[in-house]
Chains A and B, each alone.
Chain A
């Protein structure tokens, strides 16, 4: 009886429909990141170079401040190995919201390095993420979130 009055506040079907996005990956070069707007947040889609993937793999999970994968496609307890951070290692898809207070971290490139780990630096309070988007230094408590996504084809991804 009271449920309709409560449920009306939950996201509407229009909102839920807008809550999935299909992204074309074909234009993204290795080493490049494109930022999409997804569910009101920035979505980082980064095409990683082999060096970036290797650097991420070289880090022992036990040394990470947040050892959990933070991946909505996996169980909560999955560890933060690089394999658990991306379905295909070349494509890193992350919610671009710093897990500290919600700022947008800046991506690190060879021309303009940001932070010490080759990933992202959040300019708000200094959180630094590595090439798998995992928190390494600074006040952020968790790795950057990996959203629900799946590959529709080699160059097309459905997020949400």
Chain B
């Protein structure tokens, strides 16, 4: 909790501005003096990293949009023109495509952090739900964006996913035609996907604003999962977390730079360097890596409509987590049983991702991957709908520390600095 604002305008101009549009006050209260638990670890830096990722995507995206042409006959060539002719176009393009992968890498770490430390539990349920909304918007944005280069994967990935709507009884085909603007994925579809791809990131930015606002009401959770009890438990956001976030952000950017400059096509699919051809289907249609777990769930169910429901349900499930988890203890640090199920869940997600990347009839050591996907998908659902409610009730948590300050500073509070 932040309490009343302690901002004091320093100059005439600041007083003038403060009385009309108190932006400096807002900056001061949220990013300078904001009391933040003193025990936040590396996993808590990903919120800031995600804001950076969004900014990078918007900036590089707007720049790319200055050169890109959203027309089925010209899109592919316009991207190549960006890569070859536009000054530093290659840099903008590779930053944008690899930036999307980094964005999802960060968001998955951020979400897993929330699961592990119980950040979704009261009173932070709404922060979690807004977060799920952001995740959904990110997936939609990424899906639309991947279609824009109009390569083989762009076109066929769009075809497979939009065809899913035909699974809806009665109105399915009409919905699909309405989405396409034509009888199949084509120029009309590309144009509207470009429009939406440009729009959604700004909606994401607004929802991120809500996400941070909702966070600043109760304040941050922390790795111990216990509430802030006194000012000793917190430090001001600046300089403690501005410098910590800046350092870890730099490490993240180093990883980003390794991909952009030395392995720019690592996350990509070679088929997307072939122009879209409605008459030639690639042997294996795969989405980008960050959508693979859901793709695996979809393909593991033989019935088209049920596959869609299972895939969609997996994301909708996330909304209910604050109420599915019955534990009184937030952080898995003190939940020895839940901790193991959590790590099994992480393994299940990676397994689903792997299954999604392979062809439908693939097998490893004689085991058809479609069965691995089914078991992993079953565990995914069981983790939220069975394990969370049940383990919360039967588990004996470890003893919680008295306070954050006591846990961090211990009996050495007041001892000489290291």
Report A-B touching, CB under 8 Å: yes
Nearest-Cβ distance from residue A20 to partner chain B, whole angstroms: 11
Q: Does A42 contact B (CB under 8 A)?
A: yes
Which residues from B are CB-within-8-Å of A101? 160, 281, 285
Q: A10-B177, A12-B188 are in contact. Are A41 and B182 (CB under 8 A)?
A: no
Residue B179 at the chain A interface, CB threshold 8 Å: yes
Contacts of B188 in A (CB 8 A): 11-12, 15
Asked whether A9 lies within 8 Å of B184 as measured between CB atoms, the reply is no
Q: Is A50 an interface residue (CB 8 A)?
A: no
Report B36 CB to chain A, min CB distance, Å. Answer: 44
The answer, among A35, A39, A42, A102, for a CB contact under 8 Å with B182, is: A39
Evaluate contact between A125 and B360: CB separation under 8 angstroms.
Answer: yes
Contact A19 B183 (CB under 8 A): yes
User: A125 CA to B159 CA in the complex, in Å?
Assistant: 17
Q: Main SS of chain B's interface residues?
A: loop
- Which residues of chain B (95-121) have a CB below 8 Å from chain A? none
Chain A residue contacts of B283, Cβ below 8 A: 124
| B163 on the A face (CB < 8 A) | yes
Number of contacting residues on B, CB 8 A?
24
Interface size class of A (residues with CB under 8 A): 10 to 19
**A39/B183 in contact, CB under 8 A:** yes
Known contacts A15-B182, A40-B184; A9/B281 CB under 8 A? no
Contact A39 B280, beta carbon cutoff 8 Å:
no
A41 touching B179 in the complex, CB below 8 Å, given contacts A102-B159, A125-B361: no
Point out the residues of chain A lying under 8 angstroms from B156, CB to CB.
Answer: 102
Please give, as numbers and ranges, the residues of chain A lying within 8 Å of B285 by CB-CB distance: 101
B185 interfacial by beta-carbon distance below 8 Å: yes
- B residues adjacent to A (C-beta < 8 A): 156, 159-160, 163, 177-186, 188, 192, 278-281, 283, 285, 360-361
12 contacts between A and B (CB under 8 A): A6-B178, A9-B192, A11-B177, A11-B182, A11-B183, A15-B181, A37-B278, A42-B279, A102-B159, A104-B279, A104-B280, A104-B281
